[in-house]
Structure 1
Amino acid sequence: MFRRNFEDELNDLHVRFSEMGMMVNEAIYKSVNAFINHDKTLAKEVIEADARINQREVDLEKRSFEMIALQQPVTGDLRMIVTVMKASSDLERMGDHAVSIAKSTIRVKGNVRVPEIEQTLAEMATKVKQMVEEVLDAYVKADMKRAREIALEDKNIDAFSGKVYKMCLKQMQSDPDTIVGSMDYMLVDSYLERIGDYVTNICEWIVYLETGKLVELNANAKEDNIF
């Protein structure tokens, strides 16, 4: 009975983490749509919904600590709980960046917009959203191989980021009226790039879940045994 209750709690932890991931993914999608479509009402929805994401992260951390203190899990079970704690923290930061994009939408007041740059940002956001969906699926399936593949996709996000940056510089040089708007584009670009980095972090926690080793994906890093 004791083991069954523990497994039920562990499953509930996984479900709540997955739900948090879906909440964050929706926030990213809405924030970029709000920015591209100049929709301040949608941007405000993202900002207001962030409290739920923050509360879910606090709840997951609290439950995780309680399970460690009361159940004293070992090896694989302990790794599962640690993974949820760490990965939920990454999700919360991703949600924060979605809020930052939403705030950029509200801050913009009559700036000259550049459709070509906005289209590139939209494509970048679509790729980021896809990565988030894929990493959540890899987490549910504990698919370490897929997690490593998803981490490699972050190079595409970095490429998008570099492209947007160059487009903004060129635009500002050719039309001074777009300087303020282009600076906002570069901010949104940086937020999306950071979200991609946090997806890579979650990929690393999936590898840890399966191997008990912390690895730095996309870098030549040493592996450290943990549990």
Structure 2
Amino acid sequence: MTTSNHPPYSLPSTYSPLTLQVSPEVASRITGDKGLACKRFLTYQYANTRLGEFISKVKASPFGKNTIIAVTGDHNFWGVFDYTTEEYPGLYGVPFYLYVPRELRRPGAGADVSASHIDIMPTLYNLALSEQKYVSLGNDVFDRSVQHRGYNADGFILTATVSARYSMDNGSLQYFERDKASPARLCVAAENDGHLALIRYYKAAIAVTDHLLQNKYLEKKQ
């Protein structure tokens, strides 16, 4: 945790920020204090700049041929924008950047793959650990033989075609399909077998996770 991407959103004195240009469309969507939002944009700029410099150094170094770099975030700009129901992918989505040296690359993954943080480690295992066996609830994003799903603790489950949201608190359900004109948006949809399969998968994944965590916890206590 640093004060660059958390309050008070301060930048190092050694960093000279680039000119910040906020488009009218983005500015119109900012909620709350616009000055604070701009400070957060600048810290995001700083983080991306320093990350880019680090990745460039690794690529240009002797380690670049055998080093895999994975970068992600835990949430988006909470408190800066409001999101509609149709914009759930934007509300819950975070970037996942993966640098793999040419010699280690495998075909398969694409921008249409729906995944979540639980899929990152299986992906890295298969890239770096020479077919070692491991236990995981996630999937390798390069594996085209499985159906890829992204899901989170809020009960939002997403695939390339359909998605749903299930509340663990009260059991309420929402069903969606991808907006064909704008794949980053959703359209409210009637329940179908694909939605029901997502809900079953989500419930099973949460149950298995709870079981594993409880067993490991009990083993440590004993």
Greater length-normalized contact order (CA 8 Å, ≥ 6 residues apart): 1
User: So what's the TM-score if we normalise by structure 1?
Assistant: 0.30
> Which has a greater percent of strand?
2
Structure whose CA Rg is larger: 2
User: So what's the TM-score if we normalise by structure 2?
Assistant: 0.30
> Which has a greater percent of helix?
1
